[in-house]
Amino acid sequence: MISIIATKDLPLTSIESLFDKAGFECFPRGDKHYCFRRFFKVSELQQIWQFRFKRTGALAHHEVTLTFSEADNVISACIMAADTFIEFEADSPKGKNLMWGFGLDLSAETGSFQQEAL
C-alpha cells in the first residue's frame, strides 16, 4: 500500500511498512530513504497525549502532524496552531511512547526497528 511510487525500487523496511499500512504519506528523501507523515486531530490521540498537547495551548480540533524518518532515527510532532514542536529519537522510550500516542503499535517491530535503523 505504498502511497508513492518508489523511484529507485527501494524496498520498505518493516518499520516503514508499519507507517505505510497506518496510512502515512510516504515520500522520498534522497535516493535511499523515505519519510512518512500524517495529519491527525488532537482529539484522535491517546488521552495522555491529548492532555500534554492541550497544556501547550492546543485545542481538540487542531491538526497535529506526526513525521517519521528512519534514516535520521527521528519522530516528531508539530501543531502549528499552538506553536508546538516536539522531537525524539525514534527508537528511544519517549519516541516509542509518542508513536503509541498516535495509535502505532510497535510491539511486533521493536527488535527489527533497532536492527534496521543501524
> What letters, b where the CB count within 10 A reaches 16 and e where it falls short, cover 38-64?
bebebeebeeebbebbeeeebeeebeb
Residue spans per domain, the chain? 14-116
Q: Give the per-residue pLDDT at 106.
A: 75
Residue 8 has pLDDT above 90, yes or no: no
Question: Do 77 and 66 touch, CB atoms closer than 8 A?
Answer: yes
Residues 6+ apart with CB under 8 A from 41: 60, 61, 62, 63, 64
Residue 2 has pLDDT above 60, yes or no: no
For residue 98, what is its C-alpha cell? 509518542
What is the Cα–Cα distance from 92 to 98, expressed in whole angstroms?
Answer: 10
Query: 40-91 pLDDT, tens per residue?
Result: 999 999 999 999 999 999 999 999 999 999 999 999 999 999 999 999 999 9
